[in-house]
Amino acid sequence: IFSGYDLNKKINILEIGVDTGTGMELLHKVFPNSSICGLDIRELTSTVGNVWIGDQKDPELLDEISLNEGPFDIVIDDGSHVMEDQIKTFEHLFPKINPGGIYIVEDTHTSYWKSHGGGYGTDSFVNYTKTNIWMVKSTKMLLKLIS
């Protein structure tokens, strides 16, 4: 996924769904000169960057994070895995990514779980991307879905 990046270049990375902070630490090892921040619903800290606390689909919070930490070259959504959250977060952040940037959505298998708002024939994130792929193709950015 990161093969096109100069790993020593300074880039801005946002990880949504920090959990224990190991993802941010790994990103820091891969991109040692980068600025890395996170967003989580729970109070926690990280040794490698700021962790913002709040709801991933809150547009005002996403704007504040983008203003203070962005613009982003890489966004990784490993947050709630709920369809509404994934879609609203994507719609808000994807247009703000730097040209050539990557937007990664992890655990897209939840698009088929009713417990997360998914299921066949629903407004799942996978179905959303199928019907809105023009948005990705019309930019110089990349969307990666990971199940």
Per annotation, catalytic residue among 28, 81, 109, 116: 81
Residue 63 contacts residue 14 (beta carbons within 8 Å):
no
Whether 81 is catalytic: yes
Please name which of 43, 56, 7, 41 lies closest in space to residue 27, comparing C-alpha atoms.
Answer: 7
Write out the DSSP string of the chain: --TTS-TTS--EEEEE--TTSHHHHHHHHHSTTSEEEEEESS----SSS-EEES-TT-HHHHHHHHHHH-S-SEEEE-S---HHHHHHHHHHHGGGSPTT-EEEE--GGGGG-GGGT--TTS--HHHHHHHTHHHHHTTT-EEEE--
Three-class secondary structure of residue 32 per DSSP: coil
Active site residues: 81
